[in-house]
Amino acid sequence: AFEETTEPRTAMADALETALAQAETLLEWPQTPQWQLERPELLTQLQRVVAAPDFLAPEYHPFAAEVTFEGSWYGLKVRGLIDRVDRKGEQLMITDYKSGTSKPQGVQDAGGRLSLDLQLPIYLQAALPSLWPEFRPAGAAYFSLRSARVIDRVRLPGSELEAFVERVHAQLSLGALPPRPDPALKACEFCRFEAVCRGGARAARKVAPWA
Protein backbone atom coordinates (compact mmCIF):
# COMPACT_ATOMS: atom_id res chain seq x y z
CA ALA A 1 0.00 0.00 0.00
CA PHE A 2 1.00 3.62 -0.53
CA GLU A 3 1.23 6.41 2.01
CA GLU A 4 -1.40 9.00 1.07
CA THR A 5 -0.04 12.47 0.33
CA THR A 6 -1.56 15.76 -0.80
CA GLU A 7 0.63 15.72 -3.93
CA PRO A 8 0.77 12.10 -5.13
CA ARG A 9 2.24 12.95 -8.54
CA THR A 10 5.12 14.88 -6.97
CA ALA A 11 5.80 12.08 -4.50
CA MET A 12 5.79 9.46 -7.26
CA ALA A 13 8.04 11.55 -9.53
CA ASP A 14 10.50 12.10 -6.68
CA ALA A 15 10.59 8.35 -5.99
CA LEU A 16 11.37 7.28 -9.58
CA GLU A 17 15.17 7.36 -9.24
CA THR A 18 15.12 5.33 -6.02
CA ALA A 19 12.58 2.87 -7.42
CA LEU A 20 14.63 2.31 -10.57
CA ALA A 21 17.78 1.71 -8.51
CA GLN A 22 15.91 -0.83 -6.37
CA ALA A 23 14.66 -2.59 -9.50
CA GLU A 24 18.20 -2.77 -10.88
CA THR A 25 19.40 -4.39 -7.66
CA LEU A 26 16.46 -6.80 -7.45
CA LEU A 27 16.85 -7.91 -11.07
CA GLU A 28 20.66 -7.86 -10.93
CA TRP A 29 20.53 -5.68 -14.03
CA PRO A 30 23.85 -5.59 -15.96
CA GLN A 31 25.37 -2.11 -15.80
CA THR A 32 26.59 -2.11 -19.39
CA PRO A 33 27.64 1.04 -21.30
CA GLN A 34 24.47 0.67 -23.38
CA TRP A 35 22.31 0.65 -20.26
CA GLN A 36 24.07 3.74 -18.93
CA LEU A 37 22.97 5.52 -22.12
CA GLU A 38 19.41 4.19 -21.99
CA ARG A 39 18.83 4.75 -18.27
CA PRO A 40 18.38 8.56 -18.40
CA GLU A 41 16.01 8.16 -21.36
CA LEU A 42 13.91 5.68 -19.38
CA LEU A 43 13.74 8.02 -16.40
CA THR A 44 12.62 10.86 -18.66
CA GLN A 45 9.91 8.65 -20.13
CA LEU A 46 8.71 7.62 -16.67
CA GLN A 47 8.59 11.26 -15.57
CA ARG A 48 6.48 12.06 -18.65
CA VAL A 49 4.13 9.21 -17.76
CA VAL A 50 3.64 10.37 -14.17
CA ALA A 51 3.00 13.95 -15.34
CA ALA A 52 0.42 12.91 -17.96
CA PRO A 53 -3.18 13.98 -17.23
CA ASP A 54 -4.50 10.43 -17.74
CA PHE A 55 -2.03 8.85 -15.32
CA LEU A 56 -4.02 9.66 -12.18
CA ALA A 57 -7.66 10.70 -12.00
CA PRO A 58 -8.44 13.92 -10.08
CA GLU A 59 -8.69 13.50 -6.30
CA TYR A 60 -7.47 9.89 -6.47
CA HIS A 61 -4.38 8.66 -4.64
CA PRO A 62 -2.33 5.48 -5.25
CA PHE A 63 -3.63 2.81 -2.91
CA ALA A 64 -1.97 -0.49 -3.91
CA ALA A 65 0.21 -1.96 -6.66
CA GLU A 66 0.97 -5.39 -8.14
CA VAL A 67 -1.72 -7.10 -6.09
CA THR A 68 -2.51 -10.77 -6.73
CA PHE A 69 -6.06 -12.03 -6.33
CA GLU A 70 -8.24 -15.11 -6.55
CA GLY A 71 -11.99 -15.07 -6.80
CA SER A 72 -15.15 -16.22 -8.53
CA TRP A 73 -16.61 -14.60 -11.64
CA TYR A 74 -19.92 -15.84 -13.06
CA GLY A 75 -19.19 -19.23 -11.49
CA LEU A 76 -15.66 -19.47 -12.91
CA LYS A 77 -12.57 -19.47 -10.69
CA VAL A 78 -10.27 -16.62 -11.69
CA ARG A 79 -6.93 -15.29 -10.52
CA GLY A 80 -4.55 -12.60 -11.66
CA LEU A 81 -2.45 -9.57 -10.80
CA ILE A 82 -3.57 -5.93 -10.76
CA ASP A 83 -0.97 -3.32 -11.71
CA ARG A 84 -2.34 -0.39 -9.70
CA VAL A 85 -5.33 0.57 -7.57
CA ASP A 86 -6.16 4.19 -6.74
CA ARG A 87 -8.52 5.42 -4.04
CA LYS A 88 -10.84 8.39 -3.57
CA GLY A 89 -12.81 8.12 -0.34
CA GLU A 90 -14.64 4.80 -0.51
CA GLN A 91 -14.10 4.37 -4.26
CA LEU A 92 -11.38 2.35 -5.98
CA MET A 93 -10.09 2.74 -9.53
CA ILE A 94 -7.97 0.18 -11.38
CA THR A 95 -5.17 0.96 -13.84
CA ASP A 96 -3.63 -1.74 -16.02
CA TYR A 97 -0.37 -0.77 -17.73
CA LYS A 98 0.28 -1.64 -21.37
CA SER A 99 3.66 -1.22 -23.07
CA GLY A 100 2.04 -0.72 -26.49
CA THR A 101 -0.43 1.83 -27.76
CA SER A 102 -3.48 -0.37 -28.35
CA LYS A 103 -5.77 -2.25 -26.01
CA PRO A 104 -5.38 -6.05 -25.81
CA GLN A 105 -7.49 -8.34 -27.94
CA GLY A 106 -10.52 -9.70 -26.17
CA VAL A 107 -12.19 -13.09 -26.33
CA GLN A 108 -14.66 -14.13 -28.99
CA ASP A 109 -18.07 -12.53 -28.97
CA ALA A 110 -21.17 -14.30 -30.32
CA GLY A 111 -19.97 -13.59 -33.87
CA GLY A 112 -16.50 -14.99 -33.28
CA ARG A 113 -14.72 -11.63 -33.28
CA LEU A 114 -12.14 -10.85 -30.58
CA SER A 115 -14.09 -7.88 -29.25
CA LEU A 116 -15.14 -8.92 -25.75
CA ASP A 117 -12.78 -7.68 -23.05
CA LEU A 118 -12.65 -9.84 -19.93
CA GLN A 119 -9.62 -8.51 -18.07
CA LEU A 120 -11.03 -5.24 -16.76
CA PRO A 121 -14.51 -6.65 -16.00
CA ILE A 122 -12.90 -9.48 -14.00
CA TYR A 123 -10.79 -6.98 -12.08
CA LEU A 124 -13.83 -4.84 -11.34
CA GLN A 125 -16.38 -7.57 -10.61
CA ALA A 126 -14.22 -10.26 -9.00
CA ALA A 127 -10.86 -8.87 -7.83
CA LEU A 128 -11.94 -5.72 -6.01
CA PRO A 129 -14.85 -7.35 -4.13
CA SER A 130 -12.51 -10.18 -3.14
CA LEU A 131 -9.66 -7.94 -1.98
CA TRP A 132 -11.51 -4.92 -0.56
CA PRO A 133 -15.22 -5.66 -0.05
CA GLU A 134 -15.60 -2.51 2.05
CA PHE A 135 -14.86 -0.27 -0.95
CA ARG A 136 -16.92 0.52 -4.05
CA PRO A 137 -15.48 -0.20 -7.53
CA ALA A 138 -15.47 3.06 -9.52
CA GLY A 139 -13.87 2.05 -12.81
CA ALA A 140 -10.90 0.54 -14.61
CA ALA A 141 -8.74 1.51 -17.57
CA TYR A 142 -5.85 0.45 -19.77
CA PHE A 143 -3.00 2.98 -19.68
CA SER A 144 -0.31 3.04 -22.37
CA LEU A 145 3.17 3.67 -20.98
CA ARG A 146 4.42 4.49 -24.46
CA SER A 147 1.86 7.16 -25.29
CA ALA A 148 1.16 8.18 -21.66
CA ARG A 149 -2.61 8.09 -22.06
CA VAL A 150 -5.65 5.93 -21.36
CA ILE A 151 -6.34 3.74 -24.39
CA ASP A 152 -9.58 2.15 -23.20
CA ARG A 153 -11.92 2.06 -20.24
CA VAL A 154 -13.95 -0.78 -18.80
CA ARG A 155 -17.30 -1.66 -20.31
CA LEU A 156 -19.70 -4.12 -18.72
CA PRO A 157 -21.94 -5.59 -21.44
CA GLY A 158 -23.72 -7.91 -19.03
CA SER A 159 -25.65 -9.98 -21.57
CA GLU A 160 -22.55 -10.57 -23.72
CA LEU A 161 -20.42 -11.54 -20.73
CA GLU A 162 -23.10 -13.93 -19.50
CA ALA A 163 -23.42 -15.47 -22.96
CA PHE A 164 -19.65 -16.01 -23.12
CA VAL A 165 -19.60 -17.69 -19.71
CA GLU A 166 -22.53 -19.91 -20.70
CA ARG A 167 -20.57 -21.05 -23.77
CA VAL A 168 -17.54 -21.80 -21.59
CA HIS A 169 -19.60 -23.78 -19.07
CA ALA A 170 -21.30 -25.75 -21.86
CA GLN A 171 -18.03 -26.67 -23.54
CA LEU A 172 -16.37 -27.65 -20.27
CA SER A 173 -19.32 -29.82 -19.21
CA LEU A 174 -19.28 -31.62 -22.58
CA GLY A 175 -15.51 -31.88 -22.74
CA ALA A 176 -15.79 -30.31 -26.20
CA LEU A 177 -12.86 -27.95 -26.75
CA PRO A 178 -12.17 -27.93 -30.50
CA PRO A 179 -9.83 -25.27 -31.92
CA ARG A 180 -12.10 -22.51 -33.09
CA PRO A 181 -10.09 -19.37 -33.90
CA ASP A 182 -11.59 -16.04 -34.82
CA PRO A 183 -12.32 -15.39 -38.54
CA ALA A 184 -9.24 -13.15 -38.89
CA LEU A 185 -7.01 -15.74 -37.12
CA LYS A 186 -5.64 -13.02 -34.85
CA ALA A 187 -5.62 -15.35 -31.87
CA CYS A 188 -3.34 -17.72 -33.78
CA GLU A 189 -0.59 -15.09 -33.97
CA PHE A 190 0.26 -15.60 -30.29
CA CYS A 191 -0.60 -19.28 -29.89
CA ARG A 192 2.21 -21.56 -28.70
CA PHE A 193 0.56 -24.75 -29.94
CA GLU A 194 0.43 -24.19 -33.69
CA ALA A 195 2.52 -27.32 -34.36
CA VAL A 196 -0.19 -29.59 -32.93
CA CYS A 197 -3.28 -27.52 -33.76
CA ARG A 198 -6.13 -29.08 -35.76
CA GLY A 199 -7.47 -25.73 -36.88
CA GLY A 200 -6.48 -22.19 -37.64
CA ALA A 201 -3.56 -21.10 -39.80
CA ARG A 202 -1.78 -24.47 -39.78
CA ALA A 203 -4.84 -26.31 -41.06
CA ALA A 204 -5.29 -23.72 -43.81
CA ARG A 205 -1.74 -24.38 -45.04
CA LYS A 206 -2.24 -28.14 -45.21
CA VAL A 207 -3.40 -28.45 -48.81
CA ALA A 208 -3.34 -31.87 -50.51
CA PRO A 209 -0.83 -32.17 -53.40
CA TRP A 210 -3.66 -32.87 -55.83
CA ALA A 211 -5.82 -29.95 -54.73
Identify whether the C-beta of residue 141 lies closer than 8 Å to the C-beta of residue 84: no
DSSP 58-75: TT-EEEEEEEEEEEEETT
Q: Give me the residues paired with residue 67 across strands.
A: 82
Domains contained in the chain, CATH given: 1-51 (no CATH), 58-174 (3.40.1350), 178-205 (no CATH)
* Spatial distance between the Cα atoms of 71 and 209, rounded to a whole number of angstroms: 51
The dihedral region occupied by 99, where left means phi > 0, alpha psi between -120 and 50, and beta the remainder, is: alpha
Per-residue pLDDT reduced to its tens digit, 86-112 = 999 999 999 999 999 998 888 888 888
Per-residue pLDDT reduced to its tens digit, 145-183 = 999 999 999 988 778 889 999 989 998 888 877 778 888
Which burial class, exposed, middle or buried, applies to 96 when counting CB atoms under 10 A from its CB (0-12, 13-18, 19+)?
buried
Identify whether the C-beta of residue 161 lies closer than 8 Å to the C-beta of residue 115: no
Name the helix (H) or strand (E) containing 136.
strand 136-144
State the pLDDT at residue 109. Answer: 87
